[in-house]
Amino acid sequence: MQVRNLLAAGAAALLILCPCAWAAGDGRPVVDTASGRLRGVLHDGVREFRGVPYAAAPVGELRWALPRAAKPWKGVRDAARFGPACPQVARYGLTEASDTEDCLTLNVTIPTTAQARPRPVIVWIHGGAFVGGSTALYPLDAMARAGDAVVVSMNYRLGVFGFMASPWFLASHNGGYGLEDQRAALRWVSRNIAAFGGDPRNVTLAGESAGAASVCMHILAPAETAGLFHRAIIQSAGCATPLPTVADASETGRKVAEQLGCTGADVLVCLRRKPVNDLLAAAAKVQGASIVTYLPATGAQTIPLPGAVALDSGRFVKVPVVSGGTRDELRLYVAYAAQAGDKVTAENYRAHLKAVYGDKADAVIREYPAEAYSSPSSALGTVWGDFRPDVGINTCIYLQTAKLMRRAVAVYQSEFADPNPPPVTDDPGFEMGAVHSSELPYFFPHFSNTTKLDGRRHRPHRAAPFRRDFATPPSIPRRHPRSFWSA
């Protein structure tokens, strides 16, 4: 009996320590999950499983409903291709459009090197202003190899489908379906990641821009997310950013319904019958030029409290955090405006400042005179990136977030400040510097804003070893020199 028990214990330990992916007859890796068997691909020193459904297609009655588990499948499911991007329109002449609602899939990448224990898990949430983006744009192999980690990414509902509040939606999660998709993916990770050699008790949740803001929203919802992740990396977002209430955000939903002619007693039924492209067109018309129309909303179960209130009162998920951004964040949006014909000059610099800062424009000019910078455009981008009250991408909100969090958890502040990073948009005719998203090509070699282009390959950034150490307990950021923080 003792021998039998020892053999059983040894077999169990082997299952825990070893990745459960193996080569099929054709050399491609195969793994068993709770929903069925997957056949992935082998490339560049990693095993990769792509387009794995973590939730049912959000169509029909499931449009604007909480995600439901994907149905199990029989046989071996091919996992060689990324799933389609969730519905979105093309933006800034860069990103691609999609009209596919059956999009709730994730990807898992694991190193092929031998492992002596379960690997740390990094779950990456893509950005895109809550209205765009796709996992297909972020190659995960470099991060998996550099961090010796299992790396997961997911698609989630966007814009009108995922971040629009409405008077006709379920009150408990109104405006939060995209975030609930992400939480469904995190629960999938908890159930399945051990089969890929990952440690479900060591999950680092990471993201950039809207992806980083999503990380914040999960930190702010302990009743729904506690235990789903154990560390957090927030790149270019602040958890203390003011957000609309569900009541205020529901006005957007009302306008979209009016655009589509959905009125009366059966508005939700009407909206669910509308074609995807009609909804996208109506949502884009309501949004106009704003980049903050489809933000997460507070006051429902998805995000119970405003960020500053939750952090100040200690009502958030207590995990170690790396937080920060890029030095010249919002010069990118000055560039987008310039590409659209709205150029900043010495003559209109004050008018641009007044449009954002009102009667404080002259005080801002005294601190940020245009002549102190290489161009008025660079000056404006610097001002915006230091603090812009209507956008949660600014250094001030990052520091305020860290100040509130550090009372309860370890917070490590970072700044990406490469003066000549890889370009993330066409040359706008002024000095860009370390603009918003310019760090991504280092973490994701070949990163591009569109699958039609293959971004340049760059050496991994020296933050890669830090990510590895942060994701592996105990967290030891102090191992890295102070110079790390300003890259």
Distance CA 77, CA 282 (A): 36
> Which pair of tokens denotes residue 70?
């994907």
Determine if residue 38 is left, alpha or beta; phi over 0 gives left, psi from -120 to 50 gives alpha, anything else beta.
beta
Q: Yes or no: say if 477 and 469 are a contact pair by the CB < 8 Å rule.
A: yes
Over residues 126-149, the pLDDT tens digits come to 999 999 999 999 999 999 999 999
pLDDT band at residue 450 under the 50/70/90 scheme: low
- Beta bridge partners of residue 31, listed in sequence order: 38
Average pLDDT score over residue span 155-163 = 98
Burial label for 222, CB within 10 Å (0-12, 13-18, 19+), is middle
431 among known catalytic residues: no
pLDDT band at residue 10 under the 50/70/90 scheme: very low
pLDDT in the model for residue 22: 54
Over residues 274-285, the pLDDT tens digits come to 999 999 999 999
Q: Which residue has the higher pLDDT, 95 or 81?
A: 81
- Helices 177-192 and 210-219 sit at what angle, rounded to 10 degrees? 70
Distance CA 200, CA 473 (A): 13
**Which amino acid is present at 92?**
Y
pLDDT in the model for residue 91: 76
Distance CA 49, CA 189 (A): 13
Q: Yes or no: say if 335 and 432 are a contact pair by the CB < 8 Å rule.
A: yes
- Helices 376-386 and 331-339 sit at what angle, rounded to 10 degrees? 130
- Beta strand segments in 317-406, E: 321-326
> What percentage of the chain carries pLDDT values higher than 90?
79
Residue 25 has a CB neighbour count (10 Å cut-off) of 6
- The per-type count for the chain, helices as H runs and strands as E runs, is 17, 13
Q: What is the dihedral of CA 305, 309, 315, 316, to 10 degrees?
A: 80
Q: Residue 65: pLDDT above 70?
A: yes
Domain boundaries, the chain: 2-283+298-327+404-422+438-485
Q: Which of 369, 356, 350, 359 is nearest to 330 (CA)?
A: 356
Burial 117-126 (b: 16+ CB within 10 A, else e): ebbbbbbbbb
pLDDT in the model for residue 96: 80
pLDDT in the model for residue 473: 56
Distance CA 213, CA 130 (A): 9
Strand, coil or helix: what is 147? Answer: helix
Q: In what order do the strands lie in the sheet with 46-53?
A: 41-43, 46-53, 105-111, 150-154, 119-125, 198-208, 231-235, 321-326, 411-416
Q: Which of 31, 76, 30, 71 is nearest to 53 (CA)?
A: 71
* Active-site pick, 323, 436, 448, 461: 436
Q: Yes or no: say if 332 and 424 are a contact pair by the CB < 8 Å rule.
A: yes
Q: Residue 327: pLDDT above 90?
A: yes
Over residues 165-181, the pLDDT tens digits come to 999 999 999 999 999 99
Q: Residue 484: pLDDT above 50?
A: no
> Which pair of tokens denotes residue 480?
């890295």
Average pLDDT, the chain: 89
pLDDT in the model for residue 424: 85
436 among known catalytic residues: yes
* Active-site pick, 230, 329, 352, 475: 329
214 among known catalytic residues: no
pLDDT band at residue 9 under the 50/70/90 scheme: very low
Over residues 200-215, the pLDDT tens digits come to 999 999 999 999 999 9
pLDDT in the model for residue 459: 53
Structurally, at CATH architecture level, domain 2-283+298-327+404-422+438-485 sits in 3-Layer(aba) Sandwich (3.40)
Q: Yes or no: say if 101 and 58 are a contact pair by the CB < 8 Å rule.
A: yes
> Which pair of tokens denotes residue 294?
């489809």
Distance CA 54, CA 73 (A): 12
Strand, coil or helix: what is 151? Answer: strand
Q: Which of 43, 69, 73, 45 is nearest to 58 (CA)?
A: 69
Distance CA 357, CA 377 (A): 16
Strands 411-416 and 321-326: parallel
* Active-site pick, 35, 166, 209, 378: 209
Q: Which DSSP symbol is given to 486? A: B
Q: Which of 141, 127, 156 is nearest to 40 (CA)?
A: 141
Q: Yes or no: say if 266 and 168 are a contact pair by the CB < 8 Å rule.
A: no
Q: Residue 1: pLDDT above 60?
A: no
Distances, alpha carbon 450 to alpha carbons 134, 369, 432, in Å: 9, 36, 21
Strands 119-125 and 198-208: parallel
> What percentage of the chain carries pLDDT values higher than 70?
86
Residue 266 has a CB neighbour count (10 Å cut-off) of 12
pLDDT band at residue 464 under the 50/70/90 scheme: low
